[in-house]
Structure 1
Amino acid sequence: MKNQKGFTLIEMMIVLLVISILLMITIPNVTKNNSNINEKGCEAYLKMVQGQVQAYKLEKSTFPTAQQLYDEKYIVDKQCPLGKDVVISSDGVVSLAGQ
């Protein structure tokens, strides 16, 4: 019986302890940066929508509304990752609702 291969209970507990410590370190960092990640995603989405506004302007010779961009499949959502609505002014400037 002494030649059997496998892990002892102590070895398994040490592995679980190491995994637990790694999780305790990484999870708070991810949740803390979640809002920052969403803000960056929102900024990138606004830049993409601005590009789609320019593409629409080139094709139709007029600035669209966010609803027109959405209806004609230029964009897939009228909200950024933070859940705020995208607004397009009459001169084609893209911003978030309330800003």
Structure 2
Amino acid sequence: MKNENGFTLIEMMIVLLIISILMLIALPSMTKNNKVVKSLGCEATIDLVQGQVGAYEAENGDLPTLEELKEQGYVDTIVCPDKSPLTIDSEGNVSVNNEDPSAE
């Protein structure tokens, strides 16, 4: 009787082929999901800053700037996760600054 331990070369090649096919299927959907997560992260940041604008206004009686919110500890960040800067308009609404500074 012959004791055969381990895998043959053919078996290993089949396993690697299956893993490669699964990776080809999985990677594109993972990158798509990453874009969705970043977009939702920006929306969540806007909602957080908007809430803190209301809290600042209730405590101090006037609208803050983003720098005041950050300096006084109301928020940790004033940019979205994708590094898009936020702005506060004259009515206290927070939004993403979509202006391109190189367009001036």
| 1:7 matched residue in structure 2 | 7
1:19 has 2:19 as partner: yes
1:41 aligns with 2:44: no
Which residue does 1:71 correspond to in 2? Answer: 71
Q: Distance in 2 between matches of 1:55 and 1:6?
A: 66
TM-score, normalised with respect to structure 1: 0.82
For residue 57 of structure 1, give the secondary structure of its aligned residue in structure 2.
helix
Structure 2: which 5+ residue stretches go unaligned? 100-104
Give structure 1 stretches of 5+ with no counterpart: none
Identical positions, percent: 48
1:23-50 CA distance string (max 9 Å, x none):
1011112223433332222111111111
**Counterpart-to-counterpart distance in 2, 1:17 and 1:40:** 35
The alpha carbon displacement at 1:97 in A equals 1.0
Instruction: Give the Cα–Cα distance (whole angstroms) in 2 for the partners of residues 2 and 66 of structure 1.
Output: 76
Q: How many residues end up aligned between the 2 structures?
A: 99
